[in-house]
Structure 1
Amino acid sequence: MAEFMELEAQDGVRMTWNVVPGTKEEAGNCVVPVSAIYTPIKPFPNMLVLPYAPLRCRNCSSVLNPFCVMDFAAKIWICPFCFHRSHFPAHYASVSEENLPAELFPQYTTIEYKSPREAACLQSVFMFVIDTSIIEEEMAFLKSALSQVIGLFPDNSLVGLITFGTLVHLHEIGFSTAPKTYVFKGSKDVSKGQLLEQMGFFLNKPKPLTGVRDGLSSESIARFLLPASECEFAINSVLEELQKDPWPIPADQRASRSTGTALSVAASLLGACFPGSGARIMAFLGGPSTEGPGAIVSKNLSEPIRSHKDLDKDSAPHYHKAIKFYETLAKQLVHQGHVLDLFACAVDQVGVAELKVVVERTGGFVVLAESFGHSVFKDTLRRVFQSGDKGLGLSSNGIFEVNCSKDLKVQGVLGPCASLEKRSPLCSDTIIGQGNTSAWKMCGLDQATSLCLVFDIVRKDIPDATVHILTAWT
């Protein structure tokens, strides 16, 4: 048993079975399916990091590894998955049985590559989406917590701010002369085109410029997203003047809260300014959405909020419409490579059941607490921005690929990822989780993020089965 524990510690892989079933019938008799739980960026104290790009098979894109068959005389290596013969490139000219590259050493079953071209990391972007339909005491707790983490922002990051209640306010924090916001009606969804038009991005430049995102210049982007080194005064100024949503609330109604529209505005703005970057939408919610797309309950208190029984009986009137909206939002964020993090701090429900699909597919996290003054919320928020051992080790733009020997197929993946719809002969007809693909997108991941790969036993002609996992991230 100690041997298996050592292998888990070496590669970050835990198998449900230490011995793979010999036939499909044997696998079918197993109550627990043949699967592997893998932690892609688990930190290893003795991880070997190679300062060049991996050598890939031209046929199946697997990477040179200790299980490849070598022909040193002809300078050829044979892929163990597709058996394609590939020639070594010029910089491997000195390879021999006595002079092996590091990736062929049998003890290096897990290796990390860091290409010089990829060394320059992308900017981190944080978009804060703040619920103002909360009581004054909760607002004070939230403002205090946010003020404390402003100084922890990474130096190369950009920060933006959206507040919402009955209306959605996009703050132009780059306008230093006076407080300036763009207001959107909370009851209507806002597309990216409508957002760009309303904010006048193309007022003086009707045709998009080449070489910049969606035709947006850096000056246009800096209106709403400021570098961390410049935003402290602007963010603190907005937070100091931030008040509870001023719209009156009748005694027989809930507070008006347009969560869906606010998240849509945040996603559209980041999609226009920084597609493909490591951007995170951090939503701070203090109650259920009652207005516009994504609403989970009406404003009338006579209508109770849906319960578990309502969801089981399919009798929640707003559930399916909200799920459809958030699934569309999830697809948009996955396409853009952005993450939604949810801080739900309220005694009442905030709609996590509906929002779950967005958080799960983008690799975000959910923090649940009774109040914004609770230590769980404040400590977690602080850890997001801390570095070193105290931080979460957040990464972004992950691509998770898997390759298997011919006797295995992949049924799917369970975990915080989204399918890239890359069909291949590896895909099983039986789908579990995110299936029908051999590659997945992980918009956000950290050092503890784990995925469960579920396999299908096709045949067992050879005594060993091989699984090859490749993860790329920034």
Structure 2
Amino acid sequence: MCFFAGKVKPTIGVIAVSRDGLSVESIARFLLPASECKFVLNSIIEELQKDPWPFSADQRSSRCIGATLSVEASLLGVCVPGSGARIMAFIGGPSTEGPDSIVAKSLSEPIRSHKDLDKGSTPLYNKAVKFCEEISKQLVHQGHVLDLFACALDQVGVVEMKVAVERTGGIVVLAESFGHSVFKESLQRIFQSSENDLGLSFNGIFEVNCSKDVKIQGIIGPCTSLEKKSHLSSDTVVGQGSTGAWKMCGLDRKTSVCLVFDITKKDEADAIGQSTSNQFYFQFLTYYQHHEGQMRLRATTLSRRWVAGSGGVQELIAGFDQEAAAAVMARLVSFKMEAEADFDPIRWLDRALISLCSKFGDYQKESPSSFSLSPRLSIFLQFMFNLRRSQFVQVFNNSPDETAYFRMTLNRENVANAVVMIQPSLISYSFQSSPEPVLLDVTAIAADRILLLDSYFTIVIFHGITIAQWQKAGYQDQGHEAFAQLLQAPQEEADRTIKERFPVPRLAVCDQYGSQPRFLLAKLNPSVTYNSDNPPPPGGDVIFTNDVSFQVFMDHLQRLAVQ
């Protein structure tokens, strides 16, 4: 069923999949069956008119997003209490009216920046976040989801609404306008399902049972604590903690959460009646409402064993998952940057790496040149180097809304997608070889090469200067089939990636020395800069930055690890 209410700005859509609570006649006043919804919805959209209330050119539009969300949440609460439902909020500008307003109407007042949030000079921010927390509590109690589609050139308040979207398991899409391909294709992707179920489930409850050798610190992801504290709850809380059960109002086949555990000391284990043994286990129980209406239960049980002594180090290394560890570190550092005042993410990541290298590296004390690390750990260092430079840690060039969007997406995606966000993939296309992965380094740029960069949120097709000149000359249309195929290959790969991903990434096609190579250069290892001694390869490029390269980063890391 679908119901739309409110003015053009904002427009809120409500999709309900069950009818419990009020009578059918009462619900029909607000919600329509899917068979009638399309006609009524199209009629409403066609009859929409521009807001007749004028506003001065130096004023922002009047928007009361919070009041609209409150009405929609209450409407769902009386119409379909306890049944799966979603509120889809399409927002084209910042809220300027009501308790959730993020900026004054006067255009002379800028919208809050990261610097303003750090200084605490945002009088409207805390009030708006508190209001959104109340909305999230209401939606979680009802088992309903809030989805956010923020489409505007300016900020709309994603960082304030983050708590409501994330705790209800909603999705978020950030685009420049409602006419942008990122919004249109992402919205279509939600409703493209061969089984007519949208791939969505509702009213999930996630429970964790585990051995008394470990305790649960919390979860970072799209869920809310049910505050069912037990002896398995750790005193240290990370994310949604102090519980053994969490509410997941909205979930799908790709929903991912990050569980953080504490290792119980032996004397603590003895005090609660169980001494540490060689085996320990985890059991994950997920109750959820299927799209057909029935409740389902999925149980997963894992068993692992403890290792100790000098021989246990090699076993730990052999079982180390570098990709999963990188995804966990990214979620942890993002959470700490939001939750802890005066938190230094670079120092925290560096200390974690130094500790890892000191414990698991092979070296002679005070001899950096003797340092070596197992291949099972070496790629993790590259992940951490790129994480330090990523949009999750370096927020200077991003607005608070963009940073919130990046982190919300990271917190719900699986390990494979999280790794692409941290360390983008780079594929080279040339006449000399078939498409092949290359190092994420500035030396990968060549005049006769096309590079395809996938950083999850953005896909970049980068033409070397020679390729760009041939393309402008139209060689691909003059019978040069090999060149035409070379140009087409990265475009086809980019299209395949775009079709498989949600939210839909942006596509940027640029040329070397053109106006948009920054999308690629910002992600590359700056091994060749404007002040480095080694020159770029023929047809290559340099990066104008003071950031250290991966080699310099490793030299410092080895020097500190062997001390």
- TM bucket, shorter chain: 0.5 to 0.7
- 2:278 match: 463
Deviation (angstroms), 1:459: 3.5
**1:250 corresponds to 2:56:** yes
Q: Find the partner of 1:220 among 12, 15, 26.
A: 26
What is the TM-score with the length of structure 2 in the denominator? 0.47
Map 1:52-71 → 2, pairs under 5 A? none
Measured against aligned partners, the alpha-carbon deviations of 1:365-422 in whole angstroms (never above 9, x if no partner) come to 1101101111111111112122149986211111000001110110111100001111
* Rounded Cα–Cα distance in structure 2 between residues aligned with 1:391 and 1:367: 21
Amino acid aligned to 1:282: M
Amino acid aligned to 2:279: D
* Rounded Cα–Cα distance in structure 1 between residues aligned with 2:102 and 2:221: 25
Measured against aligned partners, the alpha-carbon deviations of 1:321-344 in whole angstroms (never above 9, x if no partner) come to 101100000000000000000000
Map 1:34-183 → 2, pairs under 5 A? 126-128=2-4, 132-133=8-9, 157=17
Greater alpha carbon shift after TM alignment, 332-341 vs 460-469: 460-469
- 2:224 match: 418
- 1:393 match: 199
Q: Is the 8 Å Cα contact of residues 410 and 427 (structure 1) preserved in structure 2?
A: yes
**1:288 corresponds to 2:94:** yes
Amino acid aligned to 2:217: Q
- 2:169 match: 363
Deviation (angstroms), 1:231: 2.0
Higher relative contact order (CA closer than 8 Å, sequence separation 6+): 1
Q: Is the 8 Å Cα contact of residues 404 and 468 (structure 1) preserved in structure 2?
A: yes
Amino acid aligned to 1:277: S
Q: Is the 8 Å Cα contact of residues 17 and 84 (structure 2) preserved in structure 1?
A: no
* Rounded Cα–Cα distance in structure 2 between residues aligned with 1:243 and 1:296: 26
* Rounded Cα–Cα distance in structure 2 between residues aligned with 1:414 and 1:368: 21
Amino acid aligned to 2:166: E
Change (3 A) 1:386 1:128: farther
Q: Is the 8 Å Cα contact of residues 96 and 103 (structure 2) preserved in structure 1?
A: yes
Q: Is the 8 Å Cα contact of residues 129 and 283 (structure 1) preserved in structure 2?
A: no
- 1:351 match: 157
Q: Is the 8 Å Cα contact of residues 258 and 291 (structure 1) preserved in structure 2?
A: yes
**1:440 corresponds to 2:246:** yes
* Rounded Cα–Cα distance in structure 2 between residues aligned with 1:250 and 1:472: 52
Deviation (angstroms), 1:128: 4.3
Deviation (angstroms), 1:277: 1.1
Q: Is the 8 Å Cα contact of residues 310 and 316 (structure 1) preserved in structure 2?
A: yes
Amino acid aligned to 2:284: I
Look up the SS of the partner of 1:466 in the other structure. Answer: strand
Measured against aligned partners, the alpha-carbon deviations of 1:334-366 in whole angstroms (never above 9, x if no partner) come to 000000000001001000010000000000011
Name the structure where helix makes up a greater proportion of residues.
2
- 1:275 match: 81
Change (3 A) 1:348 1:158: farther
Measured against aligned partners, the alpha-carbon deviations of 1:24-54 in whole angstroms (never above 9, x if no partner) come to xxxxxxxxxxxxxxxxxxxxxxxxxxxxxxx
Q: Is the 8 Å Cα contact of residues 342 and 367 (structure 1) preserved in structure 2?
A: yes
Q: Is the 8 Å Cα contact of residues 339 and 443 (structure 1) preserved in structure 2?
A: yes
Measured against aligned partners, the alpha-carbon deviations of 1:1-44 in whole angstroms (never above 9, x if no partner) come to xxxxxxxxxxxxxxxxxxxxxxxxxxxxxxxxxxxxxxxxxxxx
Which runs of at least 4 in structure 1 moved beyond 2 Å after TM superposition? 125-131, 156-159, 388-392
Identical columns (%): 67
**1:335 corresponds to 2:141:** yes
Q: Is the 8 Å Cα contact of residues 4 and 41 (structure 2) preserved in structure 1?
A: no
Q: Find the partner of 1:235 among 20, 41, 50.
A: 41
* Rounded Cα–Cα distance in structure 2 between residues aligned with 1:158 and 1:256: 34
What is the TM-score with the length of structure 1 in the denominator? 0.56
Deviation (angstroms), 1:466: 0.3
Change (3 A) 1:468 1:285: same
Measured against aligned partners, the alpha-carbon deviations of 1:77-110 in whole angstroms (never above 9, x if no partner) come to xxxxxxxxxxxxxxxxxxxxxxxxxxxxxxxxxx
Change (3 A) 1:227 1:389: closer
* Rounded Cα–Cα distance in structure 2 between residues aligned with 1:452 and 1:131: 39
Look up the SS of the partner of 1:423 in the other structure. Answer: coil
* Rounded Cα–Cα distance in structure 1 between residues aligned with 2:189 and 2:248: 21
Deviation (angstroms), 1:307: 1.0
Q: How many residues align?
A: 280
- Provide the aligned C-alpha RMSD in A: 2.5
* Rounded Cα–Cα distance in structure 2 between residues aligned with 1:355 and 1:127: 22
Amino acid aligned to 2:191: F
Q: Is the 8 Å Cα contact of residues 126 and 157 (structure 1) preserved in structure 2?
A: no
Q: Is the 8 Å Cα contact of residues 413 and 451 (structure 1) preserved in structure 2?
A: yes
Q: Is the 8 Å Cα contact of residues 201 and 288 (structure 2) preserved in structure 1?
A: yes
Q: Is the 8 Å Cα contact of residues 131 and 285 (structure 1) preserved in structure 2?
A: no
Look up the SS of the partner of 1:304 in the other structure. Answer: coil
Deviation (angstroms), 1:158: 7.4
- 1:55 match: none
